[in-house]
Chains A and B, each alone.
Chain A
Amino acid sequence: MKKGQVHVTETILVVFIVLIILIIGVVGYYRFSFEKNKSLEGELSERAATIMLAKAVNLDELACGDGDCVDAGKFLPFRRVLGEDLGRFRSIFGRKKIVFRQIYPVLDGSVLEVECDTANYIQMDYPNNCGKWTVYEFNPDNEYGSKISTIVSLYYPEFDRYVVGRLEIDHYDTIRK
């Protein structure tokens, strides 16, 4: 092989390798950016849900008069208002599911997943006949959500009684495994 031919072969090889590196770099960077954006979307969704966790307890529609607890007596009226003005609340809450549960005193296991509604509310054994209030739900694409929660003080104005509850928020903006 002549010297010139060797140089040409070398140059072709170098150009080929540089091209391969460039392609790998571009593909790798694109995939990385895509994953990073997905993760960022998840973080932002989680952050928004965390803000909602703190904010929901202080919403006038749900909070007690002194603002230190959640008024269980407002859940049913809130759901009715929600149905009348869903667009407004969608813009506030977004794609989420907001659930309040009583956790102490401990309820009977058979009622833990029973939704509290008007039918339960008018019974004599209320609030021991149901375990949760789904006050808001908007998940049009039927996505799997990530759940975050915090402890809240639940107040039953009908009995002037405070119990311990848990506020759970499922956020659906991103599916997180």
Chain B
Amino acid sequence: MIGRITTSLLSSEASRRDSVLFWKTVDPPADTDGYLAILTPHKNPVWRTRGPLVHSLSHLDYLGDGDVVHIAHDGFVRTLYRKDSRHNFILFTDQCNSYCLMCSQPPKPIDDSNRLWEHYRLIDLIDVNTSALGITGGEPTLFADEFIRFVEYCKAKLPNTALHILTNGRMFYYRRFAEQLGQITHPDLMLGIPVYSDIDSEHDFIVQAKGSFEQTVIGLHHLSRYDLPTEIRIVVHKQTYKRLPQLADFISRNFPFAAHVALMGLELTGFTNQNMDQLWIDPRDYQPELLKAVEVLSWSGLHVSIYNHQLCVLEPKLWPYARRSISDWKNSYAKECNDCLLKEQCGGFFQSGLLMRSAFISPIQMSAQKTIG
């Protein structure tokens, strides 16, 4: 079951119907009628409740009013949505038609279409003032018509919520599919699509799918044709860094309509760990290529960001482009960072990133004025 957390008793029966009571006080709740379930961190309480009671929950102290949780039959609680986070996302499906060397969320070849109802249910329950919601996977477009229907549903239920969809863009090779998405006229939609090389064979190798470059680049043009905003996402690693300047030029010439280009550091999780030999390069070693790529893109008028890079490793000229991009629950810092003057401005690390990091991590302490030229 999926329900919205409340930490205080609700008077209205109608609102109880969608709610999960999260009860932290030692005394039992006075009235437990009508809730989907009652959650409590207390061990084996001897309370009498009307609905299901899940107890002895540790690590859930952060739950607050308006958050949404999924409770499995065995009592396992998953947090689906946090009202105060800017990084909420829906993992639309675990399936994918690519198999990227550095996938952080490795796909599973299972039919999970029977879980789609959960996503609709979540949309019903989350706060209507939610500023942004991500849709990711797997590859969310694989459900084709169901994906279109879901975006329509989001527009109807959450008209003020920006949707940020991470997709490999391959399905938009089919023009009709892009047209269908465009016809929804969602007011605030962005499709984040990876392009890893200006050379098809390089891109296809990285995503481990022959023909995917062709589908993605033509897909990008179809999306532009139907006025759908796109963001191009590049993961910088050993297979991509050499031709970054050429890729930047390729993007400026072929996708000048892109709303944003994100150059991202490697996340050391998922498949990346198995492919470290082929992927890892100390970020310090690709600064010249990164600098050139940012120059090409920004001079051409494109909006550029650098994600997942620590400021001490980045060329200072690139600092203005660096964003604190790592989702709050994955973000951490090294112990050296405590001495750094720029810790507050720095994106830090993925938690996983502390396993393998640049040899050049060091606190920035000097006082200096830098100008980007």
* A and B assemble together: no
Residues of A within 8 A of B (CB): none
